[in-house]
């Protein structure tokens, strides 16, 4: 139990699915479900800066609830409105959100001798106080949810956060990142380990505040070769999965399901199935049936994975993609949480997302939709 008392959950479908139980239909939520495609998001955000919204528990909880209210009864989880870059901020780096451009670090990490690296490595970061506003937003959101659906907490994976910290923002070429891993592998690993420890504490405190499930977003995992993935990504994902349950236990908290989303690293799935995560998020480059075959009998739930671009398509194509996905994941009565293969993109018509959610409900509620052999 977390330290607060909240209304009992009325819909625990996603938690049961994540724990590997047989369920009545596939649960569904959407990465970035609170965001720019919703007119009410822009309205509630007003002229405010993005990080100012994250730091304001009242606004963050309002934004978190928007999709739950608009798609009443169709979403099986909420995700706290925040950003993965709050960890670099807590470490002392400045991160701005530039309109229509995305995140920008005015002073990224240049090399291990630039002074800032040593400074960050030696600083004792207290994510308890630095990210206090996130825990407050989580507790307030749990109250406002009043048990409608579970609340997911999240963080960025060490690898993805490191990329942002050295690139200073989004990139296509990853020049700085590659300089770090191929010139300074030791310094890179030390920083990744530092971030991983912060992730564990940050997620534990989110659970303490009321998060009922957590997701680790490794959005840039796919920039690595399979062997670099083994060196710079996987050990830190493993560290989080191994240490979060221990930390929760220390704090007197029950374990929560842990989701990992190593976007783009399709080659890693067999090995990621051996980590201690309960759920693995798949992007749309995965063939669901192949992934199910690779999983075999291991007790892992998959999450995903339609191309988010299908929401720009016709309703016929949405139905086709959902049908294919339901079939590939074995019907939806076990081992699958429906989602998109990455965050929903701006300019999607919210009514088309509604249709996608309805199709998932319709096609996974069917009597015979659980008859497929999930081992492939």
Ligand X SMILES: Cc1c2[nH]c(c1CCC(=O)O)Cc1[nH]c(c(CCC(=O)O)c1C)Cc1[nH]c(c(CCC(=O)O)c1C)Cc1[nH]c(c(C)c1CCC(=O)O)C2
Which residues here bind ligand X, judged by CB under 6 A?
Answer: 31-36, 50, 79, 81-85, 97, 102-103, 154, 170, 217, 219, 342-343
Nearer to ligand X, 101 or 183 (CB): 101
Nearer to ligand X, 38 or 269 (CB): 38
- In whole angstroms, give the CA distance from residue 193 to residue 162: 10
Give the residue among 94, 90, 68 at the shortest CA–CA distance from 81: 68
- In whole angstroms, give the CA distance from residue 230 to residue 228: 5
Q: Are 296 and 274 in contact (CB under 8 A)?
A: no
Q: What minimum distance in Å lies between the beta carbon of 36 and ligand X?
A: 5
Q: What minimum distance in Å lies between the beta carbon of 238 and ligand X?
A: 20
Other C-beta atoms closer than 10 Å to the C-beta of 326 total 23
**Which DSSP helix (H) or strand (E) runs through 303?**
strand 301-306
Q: What minimum distance in Å lies between the beta carbon of 35 and ligand X?
A: 4
Within 13 Å, how many C-alpha atoms sit on residue 94's CB side? 4
Cα 157–chain centre separation: 9
Q: What minimum distance in Å lies between the beta carbon of 50 and ligand X?
A: 5
Give the residue among 39, 75, 82, 78 at the shortest CA–CA distance from 59: 82
DSSP letter for 127, please. Answer: H
Residue 222 makes CB contacts below 8 A (sequence gap 6+) with 262, 263, 264, 265, 266, 283
Q: What minimum distance in Å lies between the beta carbon of 82 and ligand X?
A: 6
Which two three-digit tokens encode residue 303? 């999450």
Nearer to ligand X, 170 or 299 (CB): 170
Q: Are 116 and 109 in contact (CB under 8 A)?
A: yes
Nearer to ligand X, 32 or 136 (CB): 32
Other C-beta atoms closer than 10 Å to the C-beta of 39 total 11
Residue 214: φ, ψ to 5° = -135, 150
Residue 2 makes CB contacts below 8 A (sequence gap 6+) with 207, 208, 209, 210, 253
Q: What minimum distance in Å lies between the beta carbon of 120 and ligand X?
A: 19
Nearer to ligand X, 161 or 325 (CB): 161
Q: What minimum distance in Å lies between the beta carbon of 57 and ligand X?
A: 14
Q: What minimum distance in Å lies between the beta carbon of 79 and ligand X?
A: 5
Nearer to ligand X, 75 or 363 (CB): 75
Q: Are 304 and 286 in contact (CB under 8 A)?
A: yes
Nearer to ligand X, 161 or 187 (CB): 161
Nearer to ligand X, 81 or 117 (CB): 81
């Amino acid at each position: 139990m977390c330290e607060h008392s909240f209304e009992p959950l009325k819909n625990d479908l996603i938690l049961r699915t994540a724990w590997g139980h047989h369920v009545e239909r596939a649960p569904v939520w959407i990465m970035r479900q609170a965001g720019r495609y919703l007119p009410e998001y822009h309205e509630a955000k007003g002229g405010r800066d993005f990080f100012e919204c994250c730091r304001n528990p009242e606004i963050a909880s309002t934004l978190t609830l928007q999709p739950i209210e608009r798609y009443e009864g169709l979403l099986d989880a909420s995700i706290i409105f925040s950003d993965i870059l709050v960890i670099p901020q807590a470490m002392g780096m400045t991160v701005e959100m530039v309109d229509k451009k995305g995140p920008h670090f005015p002073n990224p990490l240049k090399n291990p001798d630039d002074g800032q690296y040593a400074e960050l490595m030696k600083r004792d970061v207290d994510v308890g106080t630095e990210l206090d506003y996130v825990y407050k937003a989580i507790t307030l959101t749990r109250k406002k949810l009043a048990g409608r659906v579970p609340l997911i907490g999240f963080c960025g994976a060490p690898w993805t956060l490191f990329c942002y910290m050295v690139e200073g923002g989004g990139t296509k070429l990853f020049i700085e990142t590659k300089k770090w891993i191929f010139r300074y592998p030791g310094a890179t690993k030390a920083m990744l380990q530092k971030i991983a420890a912060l992730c564990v504490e940050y997620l534990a405190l989110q659970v303490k505040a009321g998060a009922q499930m957590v997701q680790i977003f490794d959005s840039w995992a796919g920039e690595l070769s399979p062997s670099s993935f083994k060196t710079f990504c996987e050990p830190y994902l493993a560290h989080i999965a191994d240490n979060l349950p221990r930390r929760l236990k220390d704090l007197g908290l029950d374990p929560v399901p842990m989701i990992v989303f190593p976007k783009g690293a399709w080659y890693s799935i067999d090995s990621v199935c051996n980590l201690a995560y309960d759920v693995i998020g798949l992007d749309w480059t995965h063939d669901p049936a192949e992934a199910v075959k690779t999983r075999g009998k291991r007790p892992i739930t998959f999450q995903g994975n339609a191309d988010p671009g299908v929401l720009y398509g016709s309703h016929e194509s949405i139905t086709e993609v959902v049908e294919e996905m339901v079939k590939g994941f074995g019907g939806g009565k076990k081992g699958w949480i429906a989602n998109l293969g990455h965050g929903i993109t701006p300019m999607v018509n919210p009514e088309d997302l509604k249709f996608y959610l309805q199709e998932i409900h319709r096609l996974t509620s069917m009597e015979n939709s659980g008859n497929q052999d999930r081992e492939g």
